[in-house]
Chain A
Amino acid sequence: MAKNVSDKISELKTGVDWFYSDDFKLEEAGEKYKDLTKLAKEIEKDLEEMKNEINVIAEDFSK
């Protein structure tokens, strides 16, 4: 199932947190940075393209 934008934002946050954590390893950081940059671009695209669906209910509340 495709990840929604909220999942991607959470994933990005986890990735960013890794850089500040004790798990940080310089030898892995370059690759992770590239992945996060790619993910950030995806999120930006998703956010800009998201549209709302607004429907007026058919029910007549005047009756």
Chain B
Amino acid sequence: MEPTQVYSVSDFQAVCNQILDNAFTGVVIEGEVASFKINQGKFVFFDLKDDQSSIGCFMMKFALRFPLEDGMKVRVRATPKLTNWGKFSLTVQAIMPVGEGSLKKSFELLKKKLTDEGLFAPEKKRPLPENITKIGVISSTQAAGYADFCKILNERWGGLEVQAAHCQVQGMVAADQIIKALAYFNERSEVQVIAVIRGGGSADDLVVFNDEALVRAIAASKIPVITGIGHEIDESLCDLAADVVASTPSNAAQMLTRDRREIIDSIHGDIKRINNLFNTKVDDVIAANRDEMLRLGKDIVVRITTIDNEVKAQCKILEQLNPEKVLERGYALMKGEVGVGNVVEITTHKQDIKAKITEVKER
């Protein structure tokens, strides 16, 4: 059968690429990295293989957001291509490690690199602002983590203005969406803090938070960033780059808000304490006055006793001077002119006597 169309080699290669483009837009392939190398500091080449097959891959270094090494298991989003030399290859747009071993290796390599750059330095950390009223949230608004965050936020405090940027929080496109949301808040909003939150998931689900470009974007944010990613045991490089790390989305909500219940309890405590203090001060004044009154009372008793004693002493003296007392002791009182033959009146304790003087003799 006679062919209907004759192609030049270049045209045929172009047609093949067009067919591949249409058939596999953004195909995702998983395999193991082999023969990894970077040419001229910007072109990345490696083979993606499994037990039976191997495909050559090409990508630009700037698109490489996770450290790669031979033997790592990765997932790539790529476009298949027939090169000018007739070689079939994948042009990789995005790549991320998968599987526990590769994730751990990639995490450690990037952690070391960014630590050496000082990206995680403690002195770069900013505290959360005081009296937060405007919060930017980056999360999937359909995710349970976001619902937990909002629930705790609403339970604890009110009057907040929260702007939520809906992004994918897992998968190959997630990092770029989160980076765009960070840029949005930094350039076009007045939020005081940005919360990047995502609920728990597998290590593969959370790998986006070890994306180098995303980690750098968090470190570079002009607005302080708090992360609440995964569960308490999960640690991501985004956590290390953030200003404040919460263990979960709920914990992030707790760290961003005061607890209205605690404040109400504290106010009740304050009122009770000042009531007690007031009563104590009143009692103190009463006690102080009572003591003063007692002291004055005692003084008065002492003074009265003293006067009483003085009066009694005077009375005793007067008593001693009373003529009747003298008479009681056997003395007699004589009235009249002394002279022989004169009559005088003599008073004794019990008798009044008239007597005539018969003799007067000088002693």
A residues sitting closer than 8 Å to B (CB atoms) are 4-6, 9, 12-13, 16, 19-20, 24, 26, 29-30, 33, 36-37, 40, 43-44, 47-57, 59, 61-62
Contacts and interface: CB of A to CB of B under 8 A. Distances in A.
B270 A16 contact: yes
A57 B263 contact: no
Interface stretch (B89-97, B177-185, B314-322, B329-337): B177-185
B267 interface: yes
Contact of A57 (B163, B270, B274): B163
Given A40-B271, A48-B260, A55 B277 contact: no
A35 B154 CA distance: 30
Interface string B156-168: 0111111111111
Interface string B175-219: 001101100100000000000000000000000000000000000
B278 interface: yes
Given A50-B260, A53-B161, A54-B164, 10 more contacts: A9-B267, A40-B268, A40-B271, A44-B264, A50-B158, A51-B158, A52-B153, A57-B184, A61-B177, A62-B173
A55 B136 CA distance: 10
Contacts of B8: none
A63 to B, nearest CB: 9
18 contacts: A13-B270, A20-B277, A26-B285, A40-B271, A43-B264, A44-B267, A50-B158, A50-B260, A52-B160, A54-B150, A56-B165, A57-B164, A57-B165, A57-B184, A59-B165, A59-B184, A61-B184, A62-B168
B281 interface: yes
Residue among A16, A36, A37, A57 with the most chain B CB within 10 A?
Answer: A57
A59 B277 CA distance: 56
A53 B178 CA distance: 22
B22 interface: no
Interface residues on B, range: 35 or more
Contacts, number: 94
Nearest to B178: A61
Contacts of B4: none
B211 to A, nearest CB: 15
B25 interface: no
A23 B270 CA distance: 18
Nearest to A53: B161
Nearest to B266: A9
A29 B166 CA distance: 54
B160 A16 contact: no
Nearest to A56: B164
Contacts of A57: 163-166, 184
Given A56-B141, A62-B168, A62-B173, A5 B150 contact: no
Contacts of A61: 165-167, 177-178, 180-181, 184
B289 interface: no
A40 B272 CA distance: 11
B282 interface: yes
B342 interface: no
Contact of A19 (B131, B159, B278): B278
Give the 8 A-B residue pairs with the shortest CB-CB distance, closest first.
Answer: A50-B158, A47-B260, A54-B162, A61-B177, A52-B160, A61-B180, A19-B274, A50-B159
A9 B259 CA distance: 13
Residue among A9, A26, A52 with the most chain B CB within 10 A?
Answer: A52
A6 to B, nearest CB: 6
